[in-house]
Structure 1
Amino acid sequence: MPPLDLSIGLGTSGLDDPETCTDTVAAALEAGYRHVDTAQMYDNEAAVGEGIAASDVDRDDVVVATKVHPENLAPEDVRETAHESLDRLGLDRVDLLYVHWPIRAYDAEATLPAFDDLRDAGVTDHVGVSNFTPDLLREAREILDAPIAAHQVECHPRFRQPELRALADEFDHRLVGYSPLGRGEILDDPAILEIAERNDLSPAVVALAWALDRGIVPIPKGRGDHLRENLRAVDVDLPDADLDEIDGLDPEERQIDPDDAAWNR
């Protein structure tokens, strides 16, 4: 299997209205996105699939990722619901299938071999994990036969995940950053606004350009004009001094922090 080619992606969490979701996915692909991220938890896989089908972009040119709900992580449920995800998406495979959260029905020794089985069966080309701690990440690598292709976590200029980024480099997988704009908080961050003004860019493009420069694959949400605006980050090279300034910002608390998350145990 060739390495997973991940570029900036469209995050679809919160796209609950089917028509809006379908239109947004189709518009994103027409704008130039080639990576679409969804999940069983988002309850929008069918609308995402319709957006992919409505686009003129060839399916094989798009990385489609979905995630298995934490309540569906018992082995038989993993296998059954992964096929249900394919049915909703209208696809014969996904490029990337994640463990969404290592909680609830997750049991590493039982859950992860089911993901290997799905990869062997061609249901997914690659296996990923999401919201894992460093220790859980190391454990998963030991159990899985498949290489971990991606680890998806919250990551943005005020929550930079240095340990998990270092592990991504060490283990040779991609770190995919959700909430790359900190649920909108980054857009009003004084330090980011100053850098944006210096470079005649929007704060969103600054945050996304920082992520891309640092080897993070951001998956911003966006609609309308924001889709194309966010995509501008691909062609932006921020000065080293500005990148270093972002790296030195005081870190803040997570924006996504459920009580049962693995890091809260």
Structure 2
Amino acid sequence: MSIYFTKTFQRSFGTYPLRSDELTAALKTAVDIGYRSIDTAQMYQNESDVGEAIAALRMPREELLVTTKVHPDNFGEDKFLASVEQSLRDLKLDYADVLLVHWPPLDRDIRPSLKLLQKAKKDGLARHIGVSNYTARMMHDAASICDEPLVTNQVEFHPLLDQSILLDAAAKTGIPLSSYCSVARGEVFKHAIVGEIGAVYDKSPGQVVLRWILQQGVAINTMSTKSENLKANFDIMDFVLSSVDMARISKLCATNFRIVGIDKVPWAPDWD
């Protein structure tokens, strides 16, 4: 993985559930602030809007890192590559920088979709490939199945959910984690400790939470339409949480608050 890829991928602008002019305005603000990594998915039904927003930026293609994800309904051999080609048409791109399978298949047989994911890369449709919402066992299996390196497993990751098993799998398989729901959709702010720690570093509770994630080697996806929030989410590289404060925040993991489960998404696996 190149240094450029690593630095750019650390802080991504998430586009769900943005559409149309709202998405275009938010993305322009994000890029002006410094974001260069953009995250979307077939499931978000906004790839065309993202494509329009990217085109409006008039930026050199090599300065952007665009991630999209293949919907599980398109995992069949007759649909997978065609769906990726459609995604690229919608995004107005020749290739995706990162292409992920969005969820494990319902039958939990990950091999066919991973083989098609690798073919997409070999065919030039993607520069890098990875997975999303994989369990630790799936990460180990994927590492043994794939000849191509997997650059991430994008998962729900925030201080209210213990993901130590996935972190251990990341260390053992070499598949880094990246986060979504990074501030637990605001739930984390109900816990006073993040604000108390933020006051010590002169940082907001949100910045403290994102820094806690980043210091565990997990890349961050965040979304906002407000310039002040976009900037705050990006400006997290100028301080380091102490090991004591990291541990204090980590105690919140016992809350076991999960946002995305089988009750919301039929493809959700039995989580570790």
Instruction: Kindly state the Cα deviation for residue 206 of structure 1 after the two structures are TM-superposed.
Output: 0.6
Distance 2:38 2:174 in 1: 21
Does residue 262 (structure 1) correspond to residue 264 (structure 2)? The answer is no
Give the 3-state SS of the residue equivalent to 2:222 in structure 1: coil
CA contact (8 A) 2:110 2:142 kept: yes
Partner of residue 101, structure 2: 99
Partner of residue 160, structure 2: 158
Map 1:37-186; keep pairs closer than 5 Å: 37-104=39-106, 107-186=109-188
Partner of residue 14, structure 2: 11
Letter in 1 for 2:249: I
Instruction: Kindly state the Cα deviation for residue 200 of structure 1 after the two structures are TM-superposed.
Output: 2.1
Say which of 233, 249, 255 aligns to 1:246.
Answer: 249
Say which of 227, 230, 249 aligns to 1:227.
Answer: 230
Distance 1:187 1:11 in 2: 20
TM-score normalised by the chain length of structure 2: 0.91
Instruction: Kindly state the Cα deviation for residue 251 of structure 1 after the two structures are TM-superposed.
Output: 3.4
CA contact (8 A) 1:93 1:124 kept: yes
Q: Which moved more, 1:49-58 or 1:111-120?
A: 49-58
Distance 1:173 1:223 in 2: 30
CA contact (8 A) 2:23 2:50 kept: yes
Instruction: Kindly state the Cα deviation for residue 105 of structure 1 after the two structures are TM-superposed.
Output: 7.3
Give the 3-state SS of the residue equivalent to 1:122 in structure 2: coil
Give the 3-state SS of the residue equivalent to 1:101 in structure 2: coil
Partner of residue 190, structure 1: 192
Distance 1:77 1:183 in 2: 33
Give the 3-state SS of the residue equivalent to 2:152 in structure 1: strand
Q: Which moved more, 1:224-233 or 1:250-259?
A: 250-259
TM-score normalised by the chain length of structure 1: 0.93
Instruction: Kindly state the Cα deviation for residue 103 of structure 1 after the two structures are TM-superposed.
Output: 2.7
CA contact (8 A) 2:162 2:256 kept: no
**Structure-2 change in CA distance of 1:220 and 1:160 (3 Å):** farther
CA contact (8 A) 2:128 2:151 kept: yes
Distance 2:39 2:46 in 1: 11
Distance 2:111 2:172 in 1: 23
Distance 2:125 2:102 in 1: 17
Letter in 1 for 2:241: L
Distance 1:87 1:262 in 2: 31
Letter in 1 for 2:257: E
Instruction: Kindly state the Cα deviation for residue 176 of structure 1 after the two structures are TM-superposed.
Output: 0.4
RMSD of equivalent CA atoms: 1.9
Instruction: Kindly state the Cα deviation for residue 127 of structure 1 after the two structures are TM-superposed.
Output: 1.1
**Structure-2 change in CA distance of 1:23 and 1:106 (3 Å):** farther
Distance 1:157 1:34 in 2: 25
Q: Give structure 1 stretches of 5+ with no counterpart.
A: none
Distance 1:246 1:20 in 2: 33
